[in-house]
Structures are given as structure tokens and as C-alpha cells.
Amino acid sequence: MALYLIGDVQGCDIALQRLLDTISFSPSRDTLYLLGDLVNRGPDSAGVLRRLMAYGDAAQCLLGNHDLHLLAAAVGARRPSRKDTLGEVLQAPDRNAMLAWLRQQRMAFLLQHEARSYLMVHAGVLPSWSATQTMALAGEFEAVLRGPDLNDFLHQMYGNTANHWDDHLTGAERLRVIVNTLTRLRFCTPEGVMEFGCSDGAHAAPPGYLPWYDVPGRKTADVTVAFGHWSTLGWLGRDDVFALDSGCVWGGQLSALKLGSGAQAHELIQVQCEQAQKPG
């Protein structure tokens, strides 16, 4: 059985098929962990969702900001932008089944493999959060995601405040910080104040900010954190960090990392994507 971590697909179903063919994926034998942003900006979001739904437990999926944006657009909490490609899902005859499936997906995974722990999120983790706390906070939002109050929260989800974590936060503000951290974070201060304006590479950190994974003393340094979201960062492979968004939807590559077993090293597999949207 092989385990694969896969970066942002964003509706590029042809590239996903090409990647799965390249790795000879078998849903009866292997498991995929998709790191969020399954949909949007690419040409076939519905195809991606139908494919992953059909794989059952062989496809373990996180939600990213674009996936939550689809849920928000579906209830009228946000109008799709001119760059969105969500119409094929929202107008599909099986729309309700796809949206219901999305609501059952996860915000974080903690996987024990061989002698290492892997924490998977779409975007990032605040420096004060341990892996255990990250999973607990992700679980708080997952309960809302699957419950009767999701519509209310989706109408309050958008916004950059509060921009740091406080254990005393409550209600929509608490949930917004959890969601912004897990699905939007790139840069923060050493104290954990988040910045959402810059989407350039790690070298472009605004004054006083660092890539979240380079903050000294972050509490997830004892696990390997795998994430997507940051296409301008590209592939990054360190003992403590795997970044797997290699810009498929922007004409880059779709990446999978096969986790090593025994003496076998991790293996990065990439396929070229034909999609070439302009970033934005």
C-alpha cells in the first residue's frame, strides 16, 4: 500500500488523471491525501469532485479556501468572481451530492507513518499551535461544517480579523481565525499576527513577518507539516516541512509525494498541467 500527498488540484481533472496514471494509483491498494483547493480556477471542478467521491476512503481530502468559497457561493454568502469556474458545480444535476460530500471532508490530518508524524493542512499553522491543538481547532470547525449553523458562519467567514489567535475568542471570530490560519496563512510575525496581503514567494515577506514555517520555536517543529496553497513557493522538501502546491492551475505542475517506507526515501512525482490561468 502506497501513501501519496497531493498538492492543489483546483479543478484540473486532466492533470489529476495524468498524475494518477503516472503513479499507477489503485484505490483498492493506495491512499491519496489531497491538501485542499480541490476546485476552482481550473476547467473541470465537477470532474475532480466526482472522481474523488468515487474513490471513497482511498481519497482523504482537506478543504482549502477555494473549496470553502464554493460552499459560500452555493448559499449566496459570496458571489463568484469573474475568475471563478464554479458554475459547472453549482449548476450540475448532482450539485447537492457534491456539496454534501465537501461538507464531510477535513480541515487537518495527523498521520503516523513509520517513525514520523505528518500534520497536513491546506495553508499553515500558527507558531503557538501544537499538532494536538491544531487537530482540536480543526475539529471545532469541522463540527460546524457538518452541522446546521454552517450557513450562518459562511455569511461571516470573509475578513482578516481577528488576525491572531487568542484562546478566549468565541463565536464567528474564533472560527474565522481557525479558518484563516488553516486555509490562507503564508506570513506571520514571531508572535503569530497573520498577514494576508502578500501572496509572493518566501523571499517577499513584508517587514516584520516570516513564512509561518520559519518562525523560531513554533510548536509544530516536532512533526512534518505538509501543506499546499502557496503556488509561488513551489515544492519545498525539508525534514519539518513539505510544500506541495506547484502551481498546476497556473500552467505549472501537479505534485504528489509518495511517503517512503522502510529504507525507501520519499519520492516526488510531478506532471505538467495544460491549464494556464493568470495568477490573481
For the stretch 10-22, pLDDT in tens is: 999 999 999 999 9
Mean pLDDT of the chain: 96
Rg (CA), the chain: 18
Q: Is 228 in contact with 242 (CB distance < 8 Å)?
A: no
- Cis-peptide into 162, omega within 30 deg: yes
Bigger pLDDT: 55 or 276?
55
279 pLDDT exceeds 50? Answer: no
Q: How many other CB atoms sit within 10 Å of the CB of residue 1?
A: 9
Q: How far apart are CA 217 and CA 59, in angstroms?
A: 33
Residue type (1 letter), 129? W
Per-residue confidence (pLDDT) for residue 280, from 0 to 100? 43
- Domains and their CATH numbers in the chain: 3-272 (3.60.21.10)
* Between residues 108 and 81, the one the model is more confident about: 108
Of residues 241 and 273, more confidently modeled: 241
CA–CA separation, 210 and 191 (whole Å): 10
Q: How far apart are CA 61 and CA 103, in angstroms?
A: 11
Q: 86: closest CA among 66, 64, 100?
A: 66
| Dihedral (Cα; 135, 65, 20, 114), 10-degree rounding | -20
The rounded percent of the chain whose pLDDT value lies above 70 is 98
CA distance 205 to 111: 30
Cα–Cα distance, 186 to 193 (Å, whole number): 11
Confidence label for 276 from pLDDT (cuts 50, 70 and 90): low
Q: Which of 50, 53, 36, 41 is nearest to 12 (CA)?
A: 41
Report the C-alpha gap between 178 and 163 in whole angstroms.
10
Residue type, 181: T
CA distances from 139 to 116, 183, 279 (A): 22, 14, 31
pLDDT digits (tens, 9 = 90+) for 201-243: 999 999 999 999 999 999 999 999 999 999 999 999 999 999 9
The structure's pTM equals 0.96
Band the pLDDT of 262: cuts 50, 70, 90: confident
Hey, is 152 helix, strand or coil? helix
Angle between helices 45-55 and 95-103 (to 10 degrees): 60
State the Cα–Cα distance between residues 25 and 41, nearest whole angstrom. Answer: 25
pLDDT at residue 100 is higher than 80: yes
| Dihedral angle, C-alpha 191, 197, 202, 204, nearest 10 ° | -110
What ranges make up the beta strands (E) of 156-266?
187-188, 194-195, 210-211, 224-227, 236-237, 241-243, 253-258
Paired residues of 120 in beta bridges: 109, 226
More confident residue, 52 or 274: 52
